A = this chain, B = another copy of it.
Amino acid sequence: MRVHLIGTGAIGGLYGGLLARSGQCVTAQCRSDYEQVKKYGIRIESHVGLGDWTFKPDQVIYPGEMLETPPDVVLLAIKVTPQCDRVALLSPLIGPKTVIVSISNGLEVENELGAAFPDNEVLGGVAFVCATRTAPGRIIHQAYGHLTLGRYPQGPSLIGTDLVNHWLATGASVEYTFELEAVRWQKTLWNASFSALCTITQSTTATVLGETEELVRKVMGEIYETASQLGHKLPVGIIEKQINGTHRMPPYLPSMTLDRAAGNATESEVIVGNAVRAARRIGINTPHLDTLYTLLKLRN
- Say yes or no: is A200 at the interface (Cβ < 8 Å to chain B): yes
A295→B298 contact, CB < 8 A: no
Partner of A200, one of B207, B208, B295: B295
CA distance A215 to B215 in the complex (A): 18
A150-186: CB near B (< 8 Å → 1, else 0) gives 0000000000000000000000000000000000000
- Say yes or no: is A6 at the interface (Cβ < 8 Å to chain B): no
**Band of interface residues on A:** 20 to 34
Closest to A218 in B: B287
Min CB–CB distance A295 → chain B (angstroms): 6
- Say yes or no: is A54 at the interface (Cβ < 8 Å to chain B): no
CA distance A145 to B207 in the complex (A): 41
Binding site for B on A (CB under 8 A): 197, 200-201, 203, 207-208, 211-212, 214-215, 218, 287-288, 290-292, 294-295, 297-299
Residues in chain B near residue A211, CB distance under 8 A? 297-298
Among A201, A207, A211, A288, the one with the most B-chain Cβ atoms within 10 Å of its Cβ is A201
Min CB–CB distance A231 → chain B (angstroms): 25
Partner of A208, one of B214, B287, B288, B298: B298
Q: List 13 A–B pairs whose Cβ atoms lie within 8 Å, in order of A's numbering.
A: A197-B298, A200-B200, A200-B295, A201-B298, A207-B298, A211-B298, A212-B297, A214-B294, A215-B291, A287-B288, A288-B288, A291-B291, A295-B295
